[in-house]
Amino acid sequence: MAIVEDRNIIAVDVQNAVKRYGSFTALKTISLSIKDNEFFTLLGPSGCGKTTLLRIIGGFEELSEGAISLFGDEIAKLPPNKRPINTVFQNYALFPHMTIEENVMFGVEMRGGSKAEARQRASEMLDLVQLTQFASRKPSQLSGGQQQRVALARALAPEPKVLLLDEPLSALDLKLRQAMRYELKEIQRKAGITFIFVTHDQEEALTMSDRIAVMSSGELQQLGTAREIYESPHNTFVADFIGETNLLEVSVDALSGGSATCHLGGGHELICDEVKGVGVGAKVHLSIRPERLTLSDTPMEGASLSGVVRDNIYIGTDIQTIVDLNEGPQMVIRTSNSDRGNKRIFEPRSPVFVNMEKGAARLLAD
């Protein structure tokens, strides 16, 4: 494996991509650069345009406007069979009349490889996805998880420069889906090429991706690492879509030295980091992750909001406490079950204070 690698070579560059279907605009001027050797995820709810963007990169849809290049070469006008990009389809689309081996050989042969070469490559790929013993079976004789891996082997066999994956895990059951996440990531590392992965499952995106592009209604909402997107969401949509959060309506009272003083209903006051684009008097949203809040029966230093416990919900790893702030909104607080020893569980109707560490609350520009 190469030790020195340039992390800044651009594999796929999308510039001002627009896609219209009649009067409907599926993609509204999207620009993004996907790096070489990166596990890149397009994340968003259904209808956000993520699959459209993937199909444009694959060559199955034509751009209405804009440009795409692959390692510097313009590819927007090339048909799919002229692009060194392969796809793992959502329903796998394994050829049902061919054996597993023939499926994996197909792309190598179509690309001009000899039969022997294709067979050699197929055996390597089936070895990679641990399905060597199924080479002579038909796709219908395999389980969903195995078919999924065949689809992966088939797409990797012709040595594409970029691999596209269109919600490949969505047809699998939960346990298998979780196991496949690590396997996919491992295979990407071994293959050493760019993976562009489409999903609506934020947990999938967070666990596998080097970088995530969050999309909604045909627009790019935020681009960043999993940590950036989870901890520093740019706007209400991202904060709400990724993980669980308390979204509170606040108004900004004062700004000083990089901090913003805000208040929410009931006279509660909060201090958080200043955010570009939010000035004094602005009525905006504030996001606080439930696991970054703690409860106590006396007010603590810093932000401490008074309220009453409504309910405790046991959810396995955590206990979720719902608190009605006095004359204010409702908040959800998550307490890990592992440190229950040093944290109190407050019974419903008991008065409490909700405390947050510095930097936990984040102002959202819109």
Partner 1 sequence: MAQAGEDIKNYPGFMPITLFCLVVLYAPLLVVMIYSFNESKSITVWQGLSFKWYVDVFVGPESAKFKEAAINSFSIAIVAALAATAIATSAATGMLRGGSFRGRGFSFGLINLPLIVPEIVTAVATLIFFSAIDFERGYLTILVAHIAFCIPFAYMPIAARMQGIEDTYEQAAMDLYANKTQAFRLVLFPLMLPGIVSGFILAFIISLDDFIITNFVKGAGIETLPTAIFGAVKQGIKPNIMAISTMLLAVSIVMVTISYFVGKSGDKLKQPPGEK
Q: Please give the residue ranges that form the binding site for partner 1 (CB under 8 A).
A: 58-60, 79-81, 85-87, 89, 91-97, 106-107, 110-111, 138-140, 143-145, 147, 154-155, 158, 171-173, 176
The CB-of-148 to partner 1 minimum distance in angstroms stands at 10
Rounded least distance, CB 312 to partner 1, Å: 35
Rounded least distance, CB 154 to partner 1, Å = 7
Q: How far apart are CA 195 and CA 210, in angstroms?
A: 10
Measured CA to CA, the distance from residue 191 to residue 241 in angstroms comes to: 31
CA gyration radius for the chain? 25
Q: CB–CB of 178/208 below 8 Å?
A: no
Strands (E), the chain: 10-21, 24-35, 39-43, 65-70, 73-74, 85-88, 162-166, 194-199, 211-216, 219-224, 246-256, 259-264, 268-273, 283-288, 293-296, 304-314, 318-325, 330-336, 351-356, 361-364
Closest CA to 318 of 335, 302, 301, 306: 335
Asked if 270 and 263 touch (Cβ cutoff 8 Å), the reply is yes
Q: List CB contacts of 116: < 8 A, sequence separation 6 or more.
A: none
* Least Cβ distance, residue 150 to partner 1 (angstroms): 11
Q: Which is nearer to partner 1, 145 or 265 (CB)?
A: 145
Q: How far is the CB of 94 from partner 1 (least distance, A)?
A: 8
State both tokens at 158: 């012709």
Closer Cβ to partner 1, 39 or 106, answer by number: 106
| 33/99 with CB nearer partner 1 | 99
C-beta closer to partner 1: residue 91 or 330: 91
Which of 218, 245, 251 minimizes the C-alpha distance to 229?
245
Q: Which is nearer to partner 1, 142 or 284 (CB)?
A: 142
Least distance in Å: CB of 93 to partner 1? 4
CB of 240 vs partner 1, minimal distance in Å: 29
Q: Are 289 and 243 in contact (CB under 8 A)?
A: yes
Q: Kindly state the smallest distance separating residue 157's Cβ from partner 1, in Å.
A: 8
Rounded to a whole number of angstroms, the minimum distance from the CB of residue 170 to partner 1 is: 10
Q: Cβ closer to partner 1: 29 or 123?
A: 123
- Say if CB 291 and CB 231 are below 8 A apart: no
- Pairing of the two strands 304-314 and 293-296: unpaired
- A 10 A CB-CB count for 33 gives 15
Of 51 and 221, which has the nearer Cβ to partner 1?
51
In the bound state with partner 1, the residue whose beta carbon lies nearer, of 94 and 262, is: 94
∠ at Cα 161 (156, 163), nearest 5°? Answer: 50
User: Residue 220: beta bridge partners?
Assistant: 215
Please give the full DSSP string across 22-48, using - where no structure is assigned. TTEEEEEEEEEEEETT-EEEEE-STTS
Nearer to partner 1, 49 or 59 (CB): 59
